[in-house]
Structure 1
Amino acid sequence: MAATTSRILAGVAGAAFAAFPLLRPWDDKLGDVTEMAHAFASPLWPLSHVSGMVGWAALAGAIATSVRRGWWTWVAPVGVAALLPYYGVEAFGLNGLARTALESGNLDLLQAESVMRNSPLQLSLFAAGLVLAAAGTIGWAMTTRGRARWFAVATAVLVAAYLPQFFTPPAVRTAHGIALALALFGVAAWSRRTRAGARSAE
């Protein structure tokens, strides 16, 4: 049962990680405050970030319910718990701020965006969460068996690259999300085949 749950959650995580950059409005990267406001206020802004949150939560669940258990089964969920508040600020805080700014015609309100995103506590918690999530994913990948292991290793590499990819252009971030999805789909598919092969050999 746990193995089935883990496979399902890996697939859900893959779909959600791909949806995040594909749905996310990228006009906030144009350097224009009006475009930034419209990007933040778009209904796709919270939807895409919630997709990212679902991706992280599902990945943590996939690791926590994996067949082989160890320190990674709690390190990854702790890391995800630490990074999710930042996504909440992005998804709902910036969306509400931008909608208020546009409705009032006072775009100066968007000056709060930097404080909401870049204060030391938020950044430290987010970075620590990413490090712990990456460490847990690496531990999980190293204990995955069969061909699924190569997809798990690819997942671990891409999760470890999650922080630096934030500083790349939208096309790179989108490609990263799709690659992470494919890796997780591979884990889900090959974990099932490995388990089926083990049963047939018994």
Structure 2
Amino acid sequence: MTAAHDPRRSPRSGALTLALSGVLFGLFPLLRPWADKSETAAGYAEAMGSEWWVIAHLSGAFGFLLLALSLGALRELHTGTRGEAATRSSVVVTWLGTGLVLLFFGAETFALNAVALEGQAVFEISSAIREGATQLTLFALGLLLVAIGAVLVAMGVWRGGVLSRGSAILLAAAIALYLPQFFLPPAGRIAHGILTAAAALWLAAAMWRARRGR
């Protein structure tokens, strides 16, 4: 793969990767069935047994993965600038967090769907799959690390002088709110998804127009 097509090195490839990440973050709550929020066994089965449950959660999982991939291009953009250290650190922290987050997404996407399709006691089994102390701790830690990575990106962009100084602040705020938004009703979570998409597209547009700092 040449540098012109490597999202870790090409600003425009990285911008496209980030833009796609934002679109997937927006699609996740828009496509997700919400019947499980009725807190009934029938609602759980309806939502988790739907094909849209799998599609939506895959969108969310790939949103995190592509976000992590796009940060390599941001790091390259800020090589030789005052923002280099922060953007370099953001890559490591975000990848660690993404790995932990994807563990949880895998169970949510496939295990819960399989349980619902088998017609088992989906209400009880889903609670055991998604609400165990280990699962929740790792998921929360992963989201915290990704949020720290996004804040480091905003710091690097602010200091680096390569992109407009505020272009990463909204994305940092949206990612930092990713864990709290799980406690919102569906409308709030959809609004957060749209906010995250807009923030990622804003930073992606800035990256598309940018030149490397070196």
Mark yes or no: TM-score above 0.5: yes
Q: Which residue of 2 aligns with 1:136?
A: 149
Superposed CA deviations along residues 51-92 of structure 1, whole A, max 9, x for unmatched, are 000100011111133223421111111110111110111100
Quick check: 2:26–2:196 contact (8 Å CA) kept in 1?
A: yes
User: What residue is the counterpart of 1:78 in the other structure?
Assistant: 96
Q: 2:109 is matched with which residue?
A: 91
Name the amino acid aligned to 1:34.
A
Equivalent residue number for residue 201 of structure 2? 185
Which of the residues 25, 44, 50 maps onto 2:58? Answer: 50
Aligned residue in 2 for 1:9: 17
TM-superposed CA distance for 1:123, in Å, is: 0.7
- Residues 15 and 181 of structure 1 are in contact (CA less than 8 Å); yes or no, is this contact kept in structure 2? yes
**Within the alignment, does 1:167 sit opposite 2:183 as a pair?**
yes
SS in 2 for 1:151: coil
Q: Residues 141 and 153 of structure 1 are in contact (CA less than 8 Å); yes or no, is this contact kept in structure 2?
A: yes
SS of match in other structure, 2:168: helix
For 2:181 and 2:122, how far apart are their aligned partners in 1?
A: 28
Offset of residue 148 of structure 1: 4.3
Give the share of equivalent positions with the same residue, in percent.
35
| Distance in 2 of aligned mates of 1:65 and 1:194 | 11
User: Letter of the aligned partner of 2:123 in structure 1?
Assistant: L
Tell me by how many angstroms 1:109 deviates.
Answer: 4.4
- Kept after mapping to 2: 8 A contact 1:64/1:74: no
Unaligned regions of 5+ residues in structure 1, if any?
Answer: none
Distance 1:13 1:164 in 2: 20
Residue equivalent to 1:126? 139
Matched, 1:115 2:131: no
Secondary structure of 1:195's counterpart equals: coil
Q: 1:109 to 1:143 in 2, by over 3 A?
A: closer
Q: Is the 8 A contact 2:162 2:211 kept in 1?
A: no
Question: How far did residue 146 of structure 1 move?
Answer: 5.5
- The one-letter code sitting in structure 1 at the alignment partner of 2:178 is Y
- CA contact under 8 A between 2:45 and 2:122: conserved in structure 1? no
Which residue identity lines up with residue 192 of structure 2 in the other structure?
H
Residue deviations 1:6-63, cap 9 Å, x none? 2111101111000100000001001221121011000000100000001000111111
Runs (4+) of structure 1 exceeding 3 A deviation are 145-149
